């Protein structure tokens, strides 16, 4: 039997750290963002759809997606986020399902579907998360103030810009209430690792 985990978080909560720890603890991790990047490679059909919806200026001269330009408009406009999601999410969800089926066929005991907007998608009934079923959902948690602080340190952006990005997503406290399991990633890496080892042991059970 394969246990399927839906993993999510918010900007600056350390979801990538949890995904890495899951992999180190033996899980197969399927990363929605990595699939998006593959599907948006130069020359890919998805890229043409995005350019048609958002204008040719989102494509660089070398044929690659200008993520900063696209992100600038999408972060500021809920309708733009919805349009982009309608283009991207069905294709990402289908590819995740394909990879999940392959992992099951390969005998994987634990598969983690890493989906940044998992809780937003489930709440709205849209996105990759709406196409997938999970045995348990796991949230990488850090309070909003720490999300902002980490963004400033990582990206060098202004505090108001960091806060705007955080608040473009579902509030982290609301996600916390929706998750089956919350991993508090606001402390040390050692503490996060302890929580993760306990979680994987509980999910897999004896043997």
H or E element in which residue 201 lies: helix 189-204
Q: Is the pTM of this model over 0.95?
A: no
Q: What is the largest CA-CA distance in the chain?
A: 55
Strands (E), 84-135: 110-114
Total number of residues shown for the chain = 207
pLDDT digits (tens, 9 = 90+) for 78-135: 788 888 888 888 888 889 999 999 999 999 999 999 998 898 878 776 666 666 889 9
pLDDT digits (tens, 9 = 90+) for 121-179: 787 766 666 668 899 999 999 999 999 999 899 888 899 888 988 888 889 999 999 99
User: Which residues, at least 6 apart from 33, have a Cβ–Cβ distance to it below 8 Å?
Assistant: 114, 116
List C-alpha distances in Å: 44 to 37, 47, 172: 10, 6, 34
Domains of the chain: 3-204 (3.40.50.300)
């Amino acid at each position: 039997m394969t246990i399927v985990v839906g993993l999510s978080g918010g900007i600056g909560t350390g979801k990538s750290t949890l995904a890495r720890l899951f992999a180190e603890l033996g899980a197969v991790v399927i990363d929605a963002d990595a699939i998006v990047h593959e599907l948006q490679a130069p020359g890919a059909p998805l890229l043409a759809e995005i350019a048609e919806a958002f204008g040719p200026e989102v494509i660089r001269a070398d044929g690659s997606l200008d993520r900063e330009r696209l992100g600038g408009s999408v972060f500021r406009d809920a309708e733009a986020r919805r349009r982009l999601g309608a283009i991207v999410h069905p294709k990402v969800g289908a590819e995740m399902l394909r990879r999940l089926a392959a992992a099951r066929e390969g005998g994987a005991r634990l598969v983690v579907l890493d989906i940044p907007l998992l809780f937003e998608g489930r709440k709205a009934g849209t996105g990759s998360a709406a196409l997938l079923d999970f045995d348990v959902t796991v949230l990488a948690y850090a309070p909003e103030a720490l999300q902002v602080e980490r963004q400033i340190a990582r990206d060098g952006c202004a505090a108001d810009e960091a806060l705007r990005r955080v608040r473009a997503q579902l509030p982290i406290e609301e996600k916390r209430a929706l998750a089956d399991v919350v991993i508090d990633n606001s402390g040390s890496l050692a503490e996060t690792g302890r929580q993760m080892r306990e979680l994987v042991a509980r999910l897999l059970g004896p043997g």
